[in-house]
Chain A
Amino acid sequence: MRESIIMKIHYGTALGAVALVAVHILMRMSQKFSDSLQYQNVIANYHFLPYALMLEVLLILLSVHGFNGLRVILLELKQGSTYERMINYGSLAAMAALIAYGSRTILMAGMGVS
């Protein structure tokens, strides 16, 4: 993939994540902050489908943005075609693994499986 496309995705995911994190923080304000962290209230978030979907999207945005940022830092630290290929595929695999694990958590909490 061309670097400009990757960076467009990088900037886009950053903007999307800022918007969704803002919604996430505002949702904490619908009740007392300490109450919003109570076990039942946290679980209730996952049972509310639109909110669970938003968390899923947020997870994807942050994973894509974060791991691409890490990839960029690592590419600047060291150069070489083997190293760069390793970093590119490694960050892609780590990104997919984090999304899979996070999605599993959201799904299980949403279905009431603990």
Chain B
Amino acid sequence: MAVVAAKPSEEPKSNTKTTGQTDTITLRISRSNPSEGQESTFAEFQVPVQKWTTVLEAILYVKQNFDHSVAVRYSCRQASCGSCGMKINGRPALACYTKVSELDSNVITVEPMNNFPIIRDLAVDFKQLISNHKKMKPFIIREDSEVTPDSKEFIQTPQDLEKFLQFSYCIKCGLCNSACPTMATDESFIGPQGLAQAYRYVADNRDKGKDERLKIIDDSHGIWRCHFAGSCSHVCPKGVDPAMAIQLLRGYMLGFRK
């Protein structure tokens, strides 16, 4: 990969109010545009940071002061929307949830997530992730799901809720799919995100669509292709454990769980 060092024509104007000590880091941003046949290169920028500066803020500083054409997807800046997933120093993480100071390095490299088609620079295509998520029927399936004046609430104890609660925290950021070694070779694999969502609804005592979902994941590129590397759970910013969900789903498939 070639390295392109950005040379700003003038000193950037910083409009951030600084109260703490400011350090400078080198931010290396992967630049590519596959639709125009542009190969991946790295552009380097010197960015002033403070101890609370996040990687996303550093990227936005570059956009604001050096090169506005850097493509990055972001929205909430508080690890809720799942938009700013990227590889930060080789590890999939949310840029808004990763502080520069916790990386213990003066050189920070940001790249697009693995296992996703690149749209441009740091922005990747989520089409397959969303389509696999939809395939899992991520909603409660039951005949009497429509609430009518006569219908009662669907009772759920705290213990029932505990069975799937952590899996409902998924923000569809795609970090788990990016870290999955099976997804790197098998592009038809459903992926840890989809499988964890399948478990979230299968384990919900209000849901009656268990058999339907188990049939969907019982495919030659379904649940059985997971090798339990566990990297999906390791990178999840919301503490979801997709690797465990996959093992619990296998329990249903093998008849250990009802």
Using a CB–CB distance below 8 Å, which chain A residues touch chain B?
A: 2-4, 7-8, 11, 72, 75-77, 79, 84
Contacts and interface: CB of A to CB of B under 8 A. Distances in A.
A75 B222 CA distance: 12
A3, A11, A72, A75 pick with most chain B CB within 10 angstroms? A3
Contacts of B222: 3
Nearest to B184: A76
Contact of B219 (A3, A8, A76): A3
B221 A79 contact: yes
Contacts of A79: 186-188, 221
A101 B218 CA distance: 33
Contacts of B185: 76-77
A11 B221 CA distance: 18
Nearest to A75: B220
A75 B221 contact: yes
A75 B186 contact: yes
A12 B225 CA distance: 17
A4 B224 contact: yes
A84 B224 contact: no
A89 B220 CA distance: 14
A2 to B, nearest CB: 6
B218 A4 contact: yes
Contacts of A2: 218
B222 to A, nearest CB: 6
A8 B223 CA distance: 13
B109 interface: no
State the 7 A-B residue pairs at the shortest beta-carbon distance, nearest first: A76-B186, A4-B218, A4-B253, A79-B188, A7-B224, A76-B185, A3-B218
Contact of B220 (A8, A11, A77, A84): A84
Contact of A76 (B182, B218, B253, B254): B182
Contacts of A8: 254
A2 B220 CA distance: 8
A18 to B, nearest CB: 18
